Chains A and B, each alone.
Chain A
Amino acid sequence: MSAEPSEGASQDVRAAVLEVLQTFNKTSVNLEDGTRFTEDLNFDSLLVMEFIAALEDRLDISVPLNVLPDIETVGQLVVATEQIVREEYG
């Protein structure tokens, strides 16, 4: 697992998020911090869950449901994921 905390942890998380997201990027949109999940990537609630599961497996974390409503963009997801990785791996 790539979630071991290290100097480059933050960089790793960003790379992991983008890597997983790329496999769900059916509209071939350029993934940037400002890319929006619903409007730009066409994510519906089912796809969101499928993507979250893949991200959880990739980083061996558990993403709580209550973070989702505040996440609209890729950048916000990266920040939230970094936070979860820090909490779970110290």
Chain B
Amino acid sequence: MSSPTPTKNTSLPKRLADFPTLPDALDYAAQGETGFNFYSSRGHLNEVLPFADLRTKARDVARNLCGAGVVSGDRVALLAETAPAFLIAFFACQYAGAIPVPMPTPVAFGRRDAYVGQIRNQITSSGAVMVITPLEFMPFVKEAADGLDLLLVGTLDDLRAQPQADDLNTGGPDDLCYLQYSSGSTRFPKGVAVTHDNLMANCTAMNVAVNVSTEDRGVSWLPFYHDMGLVGFMLGCLTSQTTVDFIPTEEFARRPLAWLRVISENRGTMSYGPSFGYELCCRRFSSSNAAAPNLDLSSWRVAGIGGEMIKPQVMRAFAKVFKSCGFADKAFNASYGLAECVLGVSFSTPGHGMLLDHISKQELGGDHRAVPIDDDGSGTGRTFVACGVVIDGHTVEIRDDDGAVMAEREIGRVFFSGPSVMQGYFGDQEATDACLQDGWLDTGDLGYFWGDQLVIVGRSKDMMIVNGRNYWPQDIEWTVEHMDGMRSGDAAAFTLEQDDGSEKPTILVQCRPSAADIREALVDNVRSRVQNQVGLACDVILVPPRTLPKTSSGKLARGKTKANFLSGEIQPLAAGA
């Protein structure tokens, strides 16, 4: 069996993403010995892809892309499995001046139609001219691409069978580097468009923020179709010539302890995940009734947490369970970011662990101030994890509803500016204008400053994150409104934040019938329909007709709906009985 790529390059000096473009970054990394390794959940090293090999293979396939008729700026959709084929295709696009569009792999029982619809929407929204997929997903992709005029729908090998062009035409720093669809709803997708310049600015800042050195080695199970997986652990590490050991996401979900085993065996130093990734490890460890696992986690320097609201008690439980394996809770590194800023916005100082702020619920909801109180267990406060310091060269402002900058410990909307901010949503000027003005990005999130620490308390925008997966209320509402007897505007979906930091997905449904049995059936039907179509278990609450507030343009006022529901202005109907 071959061995994984080393942690250190023998002589190539470390450079932290100070490259004009992604091809320049790979050209440099390819001069060393580091690279990417692919493990199975049972701990087998399946494949080794040194950066040098990745470069050679990607340049080769880039000639096929051009030979097949792909020209500069064309989008190429790639089913983003955690495997070398995806990375080769991704970087082939870079050398060919094309824009790769990573698309998700299927993850759940059933819902074939929903999955096929989702990837079809991404193909058409991005205007992709070609789709590359692993063989095993070909039936879904063929169905999704049915009737579309594409140069090729095939595997990497099919692409390699295309004629090869002589010349390559890589993009410049101002050209788009990739499109990221993790921010869009499945039915109404929005592709985040970033340039090489944007990407490098963020990768440099992130590498600096966590003090990346030649001693570092990444370990990741995060999917390549998500920003934390694509940028954080693939592009972020490649642009700093850092070796990464990958475990496919679906394998991690099956056997989460494989994550810790790879860290232990390869002396990994950096690894990230949402809270639920850590939770899964605890859960599986305690249910496997094994004795103390034979793991050494003492090398784990940066145990990053991000991607959803951080649950402090989950992190504490993880630290307690794995302390005997050498895990230090000082390694926890809370961070905040979003794809619209490439990835990272703020990071904690490595080695400092989690900083907790316990604030009064009354002022949190009332006059939007974060007033610190003692955590006396009385339930009058909520604990938030500080998400660290804003990255170098970028600025965050907390603003009120009128756009005025707010003082420390005042809660408002989080605005971000700097060289990492995206160009916009691909081909969607309206959505771009709604969040991006004069170089300032409205993140849609709510937060406050505690000294130089950024604390995020919730989202004012619509995205719902449950167990690390993103869901969009529009998709849920669309599903409900297209059921028999329902009309447009009859449903409003949002999450209700719980005290433990988790979010409970909730749907308000306007209900006209008054008979108890009909109401009861409606609740069941809505719940099961949404679960089947969207894959999310929601609380369904019936409300009287004409109670869901609308904006002046007639759209659902989702934020107001939630506020009215919390204040009691919208009262639920008795479901049945």
A residues lining the B interface (CB < 8 Å): 36-39, 42-46, 48-50, 52-53, 56, 64-66, 68-72, 77
* Given pairs A38-B111, A44-B536, A45-B535, 13 additional interface contacts (CB within 8 A): A38-B531, A38-B535, A45-B108, A45-B467, A48-B107, A49-B250, A50-B253, A53-B254, A53-B255, A66-B139, A66-B140, A68-B107, A68-B108
Which residues on B sit within 8 Å (CB–CB) of A50?
253-254, 284
Q: Is the CB of A69 within 8 A of B112?
A: yes
Report chain B residues within 8 Å CB of A49.
107, 250, 253-254
Instruction: State the Cβ distance, B258 to closest chain A Cβ, in Å.
Output: 10
CB neighbours of B254 from chain A (8 A): 49-50, 52-53, 56
Q: Is the interface of A mostly helix, strand, loop or mixed?
A: helix
Of the residues A42, A52, A65, A71, contact of B110 by C-beta under 8 Å: A71
Q: Which residue of B112, B254, B535 has the most chain A CB atoms within 10 A of its CB atom?
A: B254
Are A37 and B110 in contact (CB-based, < 8 A)?
yes
Nearest chain B CB to A2 CB, angstrom units: 20
B528 CB contacts on chain A under 8 angstroms: 38-39
**What would 13 A/B residue contacts be, using CB atoms closer than 8 Å?**
A38-B110, A38-B111, A42-B531, A43-B109, A46-B276, A48-B109, A52-B254, A53-B254, A65-B105, A68-B110, A70-B110, A71-B109, A72-B110
Distance A8 CA – B284 CA, assembled complex (angstroms) = 33
Knowing A36-B110, A43-B109, A48-B107, the reply to whether A69 touches B140 (Cβ < 8 A) is: yes
**What A residues does B153 contact at CB under 8 A?**
none
State whether A65 touches B467 (Cβ < 8 A): no
Cβ–Cβ contact B253 & A68, under 8 A: no
Q: Is the CB of A45 within 8 A of B105?
A: no
Interface residue B280 (Cβ < 8 Å from any Cβ of A): yes
Q: From A36, A44, A66, A69, give the contact of B467 (CB < 8 A).
A: A44
Q: B537 near A: Cβ within 8 Å?
A: yes
Is B479 interfacial (CB-CB < 8 Å)?
no
Question: Does B224 touch A at the CB level, under 8 Å?
Answer: no
Interface residues of B in 278-329 (CB under 8 A from A): 280, 284
Residues facing A in B92-136 (CB within 8 A) are 105-112, 115, 136
Q: A45-B469, A50-B254 are in contact. Are A66 and B110 (CB under 8 A)?
A: no
Q: In the complex the two chains form, what is the Cα distance from A50 to B41 in whole Å?
A: 13
**Could you tell me the distance in whole angstroms from the C-beta of B223 to the nearest C-beta in chain A?**
12
Q: Across the interface, which residues of B come within 8 angstroms of A64, CB to CB? A: 136
Please report which residues of chain B, range 237-286, place their CB below 8 angstroms from some CB of chain A when the two chains form the complex: 250, 253-255, 276, 280, 284
- Cβ contact within 8 Å between A46 and B280: yes
* Contact residues in B for A71 (Cβ distance below 8 Å): 109-110
Partner of B108, one of A39, A48, A56, A66: A48
Question: Which residues of B sit under 8 angstroms from A46, Cβ to Cβ?
Answer: 253, 276, 280, 467
A65 & B531 in contact (Cβ 8 Å cutoff): no
B239 to chain A, nearest CB (A): 29
Is B137 among interface residues, defined by CB-CB distance under 8 A? yes
A42 near B106: Cβ-Cβ < 8 Å: no
Residues of A within 8 A of B105 (CB): 65
**Distance from A85 Cβ to chain B, minimum over Cβ atoms (Å):** 18
Q: Is B532 an interface residue (CB 8 A)?
A: yes
Do B469 and A69 touch across chains, with their CB atoms under 8 A apart?
A: no
Query: CA A46 – CA B41 in complex, angstroms?
Result: 15
The residues of B that contact A48 with a CB separation of less than 8 Å are 107-109
Interchain CB contact under 8 A, B537 and A44: yes
Which residue in A38, A39, A66, A77 is a CB contact (below 8 Å) of B106? Answer: A66
Q: Are B531 and A68 in contact (CB under 8 A)?
A: no
Contacting pair B137 A38 (CB below 8 A): no
State how many angstroms separate the Cβ of B307 from the closest Cβ of chain A: 15
Which residues in A have their C-beta under 8 angstroms from that of B531?
A: 38-39, 42
Residues of B within 8 A of A36 (CB): 110, 532
Those of B491-533 within 8 Å (CB) of chain A: 528, 531-532
